[in-house]
Amino acid sequence: DTAVSQTPKYLVTQMGNDKSIKCEQNLGHDTMYWYKQDSKKFLKIMFSYNNKELIINETVPNRFSPKSPDKAHLNLHINSLELGDSAVYFCASSQGGKQGYTFGSGTRLTVV
């Protein structure tokens, strides 16, 4: 079983559309994250949730909204997609602090 799974793996969409990326972890971790890796390969944190509570909310456009229905899921909704949103988005989870993250395999979003 995949520990952290993201769907879809690839997403190609037009500017202005609204899309969602889903993430599920079966590790029983309390904390989940979304990271963005841009074309220059820099990985930056976007959000983190701990037991469905928003903990980290970096400076990202309001068009990005995370939703955590339970502690095993953290979905990312993106409204009014722009060309600059094209990137690879990684979901991750950890058991609080002091332990390593487990990352998903990523969702490659291409906005055309």
Partner 1 sequence: DAKTTQPPSMDCAEGRAANLPCNHSTISGNEYVYWYRQIHSQGPQYIIHGLKNNETNEMASLIITEDRKSSTLILPHATLRDTAVYYCIVSSTNSNSGYALNFGKGTSLLVTP
**60 near partner 1, judged by CB under 8 A:** no
Please, what is the minimum distance in Å from the beta carbon of residue 95 to partner 1? 9
Nearer to partner 1, 7 or 79 (CB): 7
**102 near partner 1, judged by CB under 8 A:** yes
For 23, the token pair is: 């993430």
**43 near partner 1, judged by CB under 8 A:** yes
Contact 36, 46 (CB under 8 A): yes
**27 near partner 1, judged by CB under 8 A:** no
